[in-house]
Amino acid sequence: MVEKGKITIEQGKQLNQELKRVVKDDNFKDETIKDLSHIKDYINSLSRRIDELEKILIWRDKAILERQDGFLIWIITILKID
């Protein structure tokens, strides 16, 4: 780093300002990484919910088709259609 007594007061102030900026940038990066982590978790949660909803829709569509098939078979039986 800097040897004791080898810099002027003005240089010390400049160095201090630079160190503050570096720390502030690092803190901003840490917060950004935390935010990105939360966003990633939220996206994963949404993805799981979408998968669950797709399974429900498939189940619903199968149930509707089975009901329609059953109804058609019932009509054919009643009307004795070959």
How many domains in the chain? 1
Model confidence over 27-79: pLDDT tens digits? 777 777 777 888 888 889 999 999 989 988 888 877 777 777 777 666 666 66
| Residue 65 counted as domain residue | yes
- Note whether residue 2 is domain-resident: no
11-26 residue pLDDT tens = 778 888 888 888 777 7
Residue 51 lies in a domain: yes
| pTM for this prediction | 0.45
Structural domain boundaries enclosing 32: 8-82
CA atoms within 13 A on the CB side of 39: 6
Q: Which residue is listed with tokens 């040897």?
A: 3
Looking at the domain assignment, is residue 61 inside a domain? yes
Residue 1: inside a domain, yes or no? no
Given this model, what pLDDT does residue 81 score? 56
Q: Tell me if residue 1 falls in helix, strand or coil.
A: coil
Are 28 and 15 a contacting pair, CB within 8 Å? no
Q: Give the residue among 66, 59, 12 at the shortest CA–CA distance from 74.
A: 66
Residue 22 contacts residue 30 (beta carbons within 8 Å) = no
| Amino acid, res. 42 | Y
Residue 20 lies in a domain: yes
